[in-house]
Amino acid sequence: MNHTRRNFLKFMGVAAAGLCAASAGGAIAASGAGSSIKESATASTAKRWGMVIDTKKCGTKEAIDVLAKACHSVHNVPDIPGKQNVKWIWAAGYEQAFDQPNNYMDEGLEKREFATLCNHCTNAPCVRVCPTKATYKRPDGIVAMDYHRCIGCRYCMAGCPFGARSFNFMEPRKHLDLSALNKEFPTRMRGVVEKCNFCVERLAHGKQPACVEASSGAVVFGDLADANSEVRKLLREHYTIRRKPSLGTEPSVYYII
């Protein structure tokens, strides 16, 4: 074996060892994210979870910021300055949120802000393209994530037509108030994707999603498969739209406009 080949093999061995160590360290850092959540005896269950947002009650950036603050504090979402910020819920205008243009739109609707988040689609493209199954679909319709399986390829971000996912380009823990951490939910590490999870960890203990609790009735969460649920009642009584329905993803988030 010549000197060049020996050095090459030595380099590859060291690189492989380093990769294994990094992977192990990443798994430890993300421990607690888990692909399974222990449910209590009071856990909330549904055949298909869904959400209805009344934009007449929650149609300003200030109102949506209240939802985002509640969500982000519960899930230890970092506040990173600039374009690399991580977001689970955010405000968007009509043209950014929907693909249903109207040249003669009501001025009030045109100026309204809309709370946007992961739509937990029935036909979720992010699930199909994830090579490690870090993004997966639960039987109750929630599109969930297992952070320690995420390899940061960002295929899910390319597949999602709603821009609902954020990538941790930098160490997120450096942009958290460590004194105010929610110790019941894991922090993430650099190089993973994250998004809204419909508060699966709260549902497991019979609680409503954080944004629902903070919305003062403007956001309603429930079982779309139950004809007697509050969300189905709202869908019967109000005209609603969903984001980009022409794509066929079948979002589980509806907007009363």
Contact between residue 118 and residue 137 where contact means Cβ atoms under 8 Å apart: no
User: pTM for this one?
Assistant: 0.84
CA 150 to chain centre: 14
Measured CA distances, 157 to 52, 219, 227, 234 (Å): 24, 26, 33, 31
Residuewise pLDDT in 10s, the chain (257 residues):
455 555 444 444 444 444 343 333 333 333 334 445 677 788 999 999 999 999 999 999 999 999 999 999 999 999 998 889 999 999 999 989 997 777 788 888 888 999 999 999 999 999 999 999 999 999 999 999 999 999 999 999 999 999 999 999 999 999 999 889 999 999 999 999 999 999 999 999 999 999 999 999 999 999 999 999 999 999 999 999 999 999 999 999 999 99
Quote the pLDDT of residue 170.
93
Quote the pLDDT of residue 224.
98
Neighbours of 127 (CB within 10 A): 17
Quote the pLDDT of residue 108.
83
- Domains annotated on the chain, with CATH: 31-256 (3.30.70.20)
List of residues 6+ apart from 102 with CB closer than 8 A: none
Q: Give the per-residue SS3 of the chain.
A: CCHHHHHHHHHHHHHHHHHHHHHHHHHHHCCCCCCCCCCCCCCCCCCCEEEEEECCCCCCHHHHHHHHHHHHHHCCCCCCCHHHCCCCCEEECHHHHCCCCCCCCCHHHHCCCEEECCCCCCCCHHHHHCCCCCEEECCCCCEEECHHHCCCCCHHHHHCCCCCCEECCCCHHHHCCHHHCCCCCCCCCCCCEECCCCCHHHHCCCCCCHHHHHCCCCEEEEECCCCCCHHHHHHHHCCEECCCHHHCCCCCEEEEC
The candidate with the shortest Cα–Cα distance to 171, out of 80, 51, 253, is: 80
Quote the pLDDT of residue 11.
42
